């Protein structure tokens, strides 16, 4: 594990790691106190004041026999791992497909506050998945109005060393299961923690296409099935999801 006081982006550092760094264990973790160019998906940015959150990336050597589709599960696994760590810390977090970690507003469950974001990127011989998790971020520090943090959600521990280690270990644990052939079992667990399933959604797809309907399933490849009002189903592989109406109440935390 490499801990840096400052870097451009832990994903960028992880992508620049020489292959030798990954040969001992098959993985490396890069964490930074401060990122000067933290990145989100599609050219967006991740903003976090130093000390207010954890920002780290896990670099994985990619086995040559691994089916490409399984690599696509990596960002979902990371969101699932982080949501699980938040739950163990007393915060009922969910994954909004594909990979935001969110907490629903008790007064309006379609209104999701973002606790963490995940960005997966591919290198020549490695895959990198980066996580930004808001820990002690206050309302005044929030870079966007819908950002929340573990402290604002009443977490029992804000120990950032523990959080990085627990999140990285959980990501590696899930990834190891996928590589060992248990992707279907892992995806079944993903469905239990994915708040998007059952919600009415609008999908903003790369290229500007928009799609509305109910999110009816996430398959074992991590793809989202949307069913229109007319009953037509579409499989979505990428996009931003806007929750229009939440799933039925029994699926939400009390």
The residue ranges that bind ligand BT5 (CB under 6 A) are 9-11, 35, 38-42, 44-48, 55-57, 100, 114, 117-119, 130-132, 134, 143-144, 147
Q: Which residue's CB is nearer to ligand BT5, number 118 or number 166?
A: 118
Rg over CA atoms, the chain: 17
Q: Which residue's CB is nearer to ligand BT5, number 22 or number 131?
A: 131
Query: In the bound complex, what is the minimum distance in angstroms from residue 136's beta carbon to ligand BT5?
Result: 12
Phi/psi at 157 (nearest 5 deg)? -135, 140
Cα dihedral sign, 175-217-82-1: positive
Q: Which residue's CB is nearer to ligand BT5, number 4 or number 185?
A: 4
The residue number whose beta carbon is nearest to ligand BT5 equals 117
Query: In the bound complex, what is the minimum distance in angstroms from residue 230's beta carbon to ligand BT5?
Result: 30
218: CB partners within 8 A, 6+ apart: 76, 97, 187, 190, 191, 194, 196, 197, 224, 225
Q: Which residue's CB is nearer to ligand BT5, number 169 or number 249?
A: 169
Query: In the bound complex, what is the minimum distance in angstroms from residue 112's beta carbon to ligand BT5?
Result: 11
Strand ranges in the chain using DSSP code E only, listed in sequence order: 2-7, 27-35, 53-61, 94-96, 100-105, 108-122, 126-134, 200-204, 210-218, 224-227, 233-236, 240-245
Query: In the bound complex, what is the minimum distance in angstroms from residue 67's beta carbon to ligand BT5?
Result: 25
Q: Which residue's CB is nearer to ligand BT5, number 79 or number 84?
A: 79
Kindly tell me the burial class for residue 128, based on how many C-beta atoms sit within 10 Å of its own C-beta (0-12, 13-18, 19 or more): buried
Query: In the bound complex, what is the minimum distance in angstroms from residue 103's beta carbon to ligand BT5?
Result: 11
Q: Which residue's CB is nearer to ligand BT5, number 97 or number 190?
A: 97
Query: In the bound complex, what is the minimum distance in angstroms from residue 185's beta carbon to ligand BT5?
Result: 26
Tell me which residue of 119, 149, 121, 146 sits closest to 133, measured CA to CA: 149
């Amino acid at each position: 594990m490499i801990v840096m006081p400052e870097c451009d982006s832990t994903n960028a550092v992880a992508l620049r790691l020489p292959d030798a760094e990954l040969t001992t264990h098959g993985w490396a973790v890069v964490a930074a106190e401060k990122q000067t160019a933290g990145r989100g998906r599609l050219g967006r940015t991740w903003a976090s004041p130093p000390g207010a959150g954890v920002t780290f990336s896990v670099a994985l050597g990619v086995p040559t026999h691994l089916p490409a589709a399984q690599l696509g599960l990596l960002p979902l696994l990371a969101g699932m791992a982080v949501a699980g760590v938040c739950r163990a810390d007393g915060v009922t977090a969910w994954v909004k497909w594909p990979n935001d970690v969110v907490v629903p507003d008790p007064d309006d469950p379609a209104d999701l506050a973002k606790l963490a974001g995940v960005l997966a990127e591919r290198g020549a011989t490695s895959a990198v998945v980066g996580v930004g998790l808001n820990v002690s971020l206050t309302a005044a520090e929030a870079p966007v109005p819908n950002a929340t943090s573990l402290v604002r959600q009443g977490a029992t521990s804000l120990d950032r060393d523990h959080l990085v280690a627990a999140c990285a270990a959980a990501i590696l644990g899930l990834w190891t299961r996928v590589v060992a052939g248990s992707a279907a079992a892992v995806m079944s667990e993903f469905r239990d923690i994915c708040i998007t399933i059952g919600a009415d959604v609008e999908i903003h797809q790369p290229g500007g296409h928009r799609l509305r309907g109910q999110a009816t399933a996430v398959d074992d490849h991590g793809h989202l099935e949307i069913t229109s009002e007319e009953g037509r189903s579409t499989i979505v592989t990428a996009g931003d999801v806007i929750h229009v109406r939440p799933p039925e109440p029994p699926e939400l935390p009390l």
